[in-house]
Amino acid sequence: MTRRGGRAASAGAGRPTANLGVQRWCRSATLEGNTTVTGTTKVIGIIGDPVSHSLSPQLHNAAFEACGLDIVYVPLPVGARAVGAAVQGLAALGLRGANVTIPHKGAVVPYLSSLDDDARLLKAVNTIVVDGDEMRGYNTDVEGVRGSLEEAVGAGLHGATGLVFGAGGAGRAAALALARMGVRVTIVNRTAAAAERLAALISAAVPGAGCRWLALSDLTAAEVVAQRVVVNATPLGMAGAGKVPAPLVDTVTAGQVVFDVVYTGGETDLLAQARARGANVVDGLSMLVRQAAVAFELWTGERAPLKVMQDAIARR
Ligand code: NAP
């Protein structure tokens, strides 16, 4: 069992607020301060398998602490067979909510009371808010993609071409975000049927989107060169997950925006090569912070401290 080094109790200094039943403690905004767990501390978790690699505990605990919120964020490893019990347990145990990560973003859906529009459309939930017996599911990954892209290139992608490699949870979020930004999206996926389904879903959901699809085996260098935005939304590039296929990595050029949803200890191979060729790169940490900021606001009703969140994962 790992002990929290040097974290001392400081419960006497608190002053409650009315906000969502969460106590606010009078302490300064500090990243290294004294997070305290008391009898009134609210708990938020991350459900997934595995979750040990997740940066979300660092990111959210720094944010709660900096905002003086009496909330602690914990990893909750949950196997596939325990998903229903785990989601129902959130309310039973009085948690304020949870994040959901791979592979449970779809599996949690049947256990929730309601879904926001994006979660319902994509059949993927990455954030749960618990309000008494009610559990609401949200998809904040879509805003994570939109916010990171807009930060990198502004709002000027309307009419541009974009390729999304992957049709899983991250691919669906990326395709929807890009289509809403006015990008003409092509979905590329190893399993062609999943690409076809996603293209149909996006075309139906976003008026005028006209989303295309291609099987990965049909992807050519010319197709990649024709794109203004290229997104890797597969796990390829993570340690042990294999490499992003050559037509993508070897063909990205200056003038393109290359976005890798994967986050690793350093820069992914795709982004390193794209940067070396003069492309504008967007990394998975940027998306992680953006989707986390929306989740933070859903749980607390407060504006998320973006800079604190960015610094917390930069120090990992
Ligand atoms: P997912 O739902 O399991 O989807 C995986 C996708 O990758 C599918 O399209 C799958 O294709 C494709 N794929 C997997 N292995 C492949 C291979 N060897 N060759 C070709 N394609 C392959 O996973 P996800 O939730 O989308 O997550 C994908 C990645 O995004 C993960 O690394 C995750 O950590 C990351 N992510 C990052 C953030 C962030 O905030 N930065 C947020 C969400 C996810 P098939 O359909 O053919 O199986």
Task: Give yes or no for residue 291 CB within 6 A of ligand 1.
Answer: yes
Active site residue: 105, 123, 243, 307, which one?
A: 105
Query: Does the beta carbon of 237 lie inside 6 Å of ligand 1?
Result: no
Task: With beta carbons less than 8 A apart as the criterion, state whether 167 and 197 touch.
Answer: yes
- Concerning whether 123 is annotated as a catalytic residue, the answer is no
Any ligand 1 atom below 6 A from CB of 189: yes
Position in ligand 1 atom list of the atom nearest CA 171: 26
CA distance 187 to 83: 30
At 161, the pLDDT band (50, 70, 90 cuts) reads very high
| pLDDT number for residue 36 | 82
Q: How far apart are CA 67 and CA 30, in angstroms?
A: 9
Q: pLDDT category, 154, cuts 50, 70, 90?
A: confident
Token readout for 270 is: 């795709």
* Pair 171, 105: CB distance under 8 Å: no
What tokens does 151 get?
């930060």
Asked if pLDDT for residue 5 goes beyond 80, the answer is no
**Nearest atom (ligand 1) to Cα of 241:** 18
| Atom number, ligand 1, closest to the C-alpha of residue 141 | 42
> What is the rounded average pLDDT of the residues 54-71?
97
